[in-house]
Amino acid sequence: MKQFLSIMLLAVVLLAVSCGQSKELILGGVGPVTGEAATFGDSTKKGFLLAVEEWNAKGGVLGKTIKTSFADDKGDPAEGATVYTKLIQQDKVVAIIGTVMSKVTLAGAPIAQAAKIPMISPTSTNEKVTLVGDYIFRACFIDPFQGTVGAKFAFEDLKAKKAAAIFDLGNDYTKGLSESFKKAFEALGGTVVAFEGHPSGATDFKAQLTKILEGKPEVLYISDYYNDVALIAKQARELGYKGPLLGGDGWDSPDLVKLGGEAVENGFFTNHYAPDATTPEVLTFVKNYKAKNNATPDALAALAYDATYLMLTAIKNAKSTDGAKIRDALAAIDLVCVSGRVKFDANRNPIKSAAIIEIKGGKQVYRTTVNP
């Protein structure tokens, strides 16, 4: 009891006194570093911190050192609303990078908008996110884009006429991706023979896959994240499916091949950049990320890194930490990032082309670029 009370007291006191102003500039970050999406939050955090570290090594921004405040949202909208409030009201951040999941970003965005604090979500794909207001930007594709690109690739390059899709029922990103794939594939004249969802957190997908394979699809669209993709691919191969697999940027992780092994060979996915690309941005990023974290970056790390670069560049261009000025600078930005050259459209979504990556011999190989 005493212990509990003293900790409570400490918490309250710290809450009250830690409002101290500092001369540095504080950049906020948000991501789920606990809970079932923790691994995504972890990558996001690492990409974010690496970008800030690189800027600080070059002297910070506007002559100030960049301090960071990274908060855990647990993948929960209510927690998201709390941490956005904390970063803005308590830590007095000038801008926010975050967060990963659309549902959480949608709870945080109105708070940032109301406080006129610009924010870039690295990975929230739901169209509604940036429609919250003019301070809200994103660094990733929106739902319909990747599905359309994937469908075009399946129909034209893979010459598939019959496709099937599997997705996570409880995840808006994967559901949205599969839906847009289906729509685009049918518009091109193809048939979607099966469109099956699986519960979130499932490990056995054979019920859905058995049903899917009865329709004899020529391509299987898997819109899940890499961890589920690996299991789905393995189980589809075990059930005798030999055709190509196709997916979105959720596939982009060095762990995909580790988890999926040979099963993910003959797999293709739409991505922001090709890891074997030789642009200096990609090379620097991959090298520094490996040196710092002893791991190869995934798409989430890359997008968080890009989002941070975009935001800091905007602050530099704006020559100010004023929210409205940073917003205007972001709207006008034109920057070459890891994930390609980024400009924002009128709805603050990035305009960029998609790369198609093939999994070949356990490596991610660049196949082609598709422009929107």
Specify the stretch interacting with other proteins by CB under 8 A; choose among 154-162, 195-203, 302-310, 352-360: 195-203
Least Å from the CB of residue 210 to other proteins? 5
The amino acid at residue 245 is: L
Query: Which C-beta is closer to other proteins: that of 4 or that of 159?
Result: 4
Strands of 340-344's sheet in order across: 335-337, 340-344, 350-351
Least Å from the CB of residue 114 to other proteins? 9
Q: 327, 112 in Cβ contact below 8 A?
A: no
CA 280 to chain centre: 22
Q: In the range 297-326, which residues lie near other proteins by CB under 8 A?
A: none
Query: Which C-beta is closer to other proteins: that of 105 or that of 339?
Result: 105
Least Å from the CB of residue 224 to other proteins? 12
Does 22 help bind other proteins (rule: CB under 8 A)?
Answer: no
Based on the number of CB atoms within 10 Å of its own CB, is 34 exposed (0-12), middle (13-18) or buried (19 or more)?
middle
Does 291 help bind other proteins (rule: CB under 8 A)?
Answer: no
Q: In the range 247-276, which residues lie near other proteins by CB under 8 A?
A: 255, 258-259, 261
Specify the stretch interacting with other proteins by CB under 8 A; choose among 8-16, 265-273, 277-285, 304-312: 8-16
Residue of the chain from 25, 26, 27, 45 that contacts other proteins (CB under 8 A) = 45
Half-sphere exposure of 130 (CA within 13 A, CB side): 23
Binding-site string for other proteins from residue 96 to residue 135, where x marks contact by CB under 8 A and - marks none: ------xx--xx--x---------------x-x-------
Query: Which C-beta is closer to other proteins: that of 157 or that of 196?
Result: 196
Least Å from the CB of residue 149 to other proteins? 21
Query: Which C-beta is closer to other proteins: that of 35 or that of 60?
Result: 35
Does 10 help bind other proteins (rule: CB under 8 A)?
Answer: yes
Q: In the chain, which ranges are continuous DSSP H helix?
A: 2-17, 38-57, 77-85, 102-115, 128-131, 143-152, 172-187, 206-214, 226-238, 255-260, 280-293, 299-318, 323-331
> CA distances (Å), 40 to each of 6, 43, 159, 353, in order?
34, 5, 34, 23
Specify the stretch interacting with other proteins by CB under 8 A; choose among 191-199, 282-290, 314-322, 343-351: 191-199
Closest to 56 in 3D by CA, of 15, 26, 101, 87: 26
d(CA 366, CA 93): 38
Query: Which C-beta is closer to other proteins: that of 153 or that of 226?
Result: 226
Residue 268's SS3 state is strand
Residue of the chain from 6, 22, 210, 284 that contacts other proteins (CB under 8 A) = 210
Does 362 help bind other proteins (rule: CB under 8 A)?
Answer: no
Closest to 120 in 3D by CA, of 367, 357, 337: 337
Q: 67, 25 in Cβ contact below 8 A?
A: yes
Q: In the range 48-107, which residues lie near other proteins by CB under 8 A?
A: 69-72, 74-78, 80-82, 85-86, 88-90, 102-103, 106-107
Q: In the range 141-180, which residues lie near other proteins by CB under 8 A?
A: 168-172, 175-176
Q: 32, 72 in Cβ contact below 8 A?
A: yes
Residues contacting residue 279 through CB under 8 Å, at least 6 positions apart: 273, 336, 338
Least Å from the CB of residue 269 to other proteins? 17
Query: Which C-beta is closer to other proteins: that of 82 or that of 266?
Result: 82
Query: Which C-beta is closer to other proteins: that of 198 or that of 348?
Result: 198
Residue of the chain from 7, 283, 332, 351 that contacts other proteins (CB under 8 A) = 7
Kindly report each contact of residues 7-16 with a partner whose C-beta sits within 8 Å and lies 24 or more positions away, as own/partner. 15/90
Position of tokens 């670069």? 309
